[in-house]
Amino acid sequence: MSPHATPLRGSLPPEGADPAWGGPAPESSPHASPLRGSLPPEGAVPAWGGPAPELSPHATLPPEGAVPAWGGPAPEPSPHASLPTEGRPFKVLGVQQIAIGAPDKQRLHTLWVQLLGLPVTGHFRSERENVEEDICTIGHGAHAVEVDLMQPIDAQAKPAVHSTPLNHIGLWVDDLPRAVEWLTAQGVRFAPGGIRKGAAGFDICFMHPKASAEFPFSGEGVLIELVQAPPEVIAALA
């Protein structure tokens, strides 16, 4: 075999020789990048072998109370976070009524009385509340729920009991005055009129469907009637 011949494919080169041409392996250049897969020297970045850059001060954690996105001050806490979870001086016992409005309650009467079979157990009319209604009842005793079928006396006046078909819901509470006092102190907005007699003869008060700057809490779009439960309802449901 000629000393200049390329070694046979698969044969091992002599020690110190470069496998590509059989000569001695060249000296490694000090500028050469490390072989792929070799570890860079300590403190070096593998991509170019230079020293690692200084850590950016932006990589540190933001100071306490700062918002990480931009480092500014934290926003004011939500009023919802400060509401008490215990010590409520009243209890919601159940649903007292569902009030439904229409320009003409006759169509409501056809649906709820003639088709669905609810009995009419009373009637109510109030110029002050701008309402004329038929009172129907589902269930019996302490578990009975009113379904009030309402129409406005004057369709152009307020309150407009027909403008929202599902006008409001009523909830039994065991102590209405304390409920109103406590909820007001928490920032709940109540509708004008305060505590007064309702269509069924019980004391009532309405939570306003919309909040205000002074009162940040409301019925969240729903008119909610709080109704003082009589003793027999409290005894049955409390």
Of residues 54 and 177, the one with the higher pLDDT is 177
User: Alpha-carbon distance 151 to 149, whole Å?
Assistant: 7
From 24-38, 126-140, 195-209, 215-229, the region with the lowest mean pLDDT: 24-38
Quick check: pTM over 0.85?
Answer: no
From 24-33, 53-62, 116-125, the region with the lowest mean pLDDT: 24-33
Mean pLDDT for the stretch of residues 63-77 = 61
Q: Is the pLDDT of residue 5 over 70?
A: no
Name which CATH class applies to 92-237.
alpha beta
> Mean of the per-residue pLDDT values for the chain?
82
User: Alpha-carbon distance 122 to 163, whole Å?
Assistant: 23
User: Alpha-carbon distance 171 to 198, whole Å?
Assistant: 13
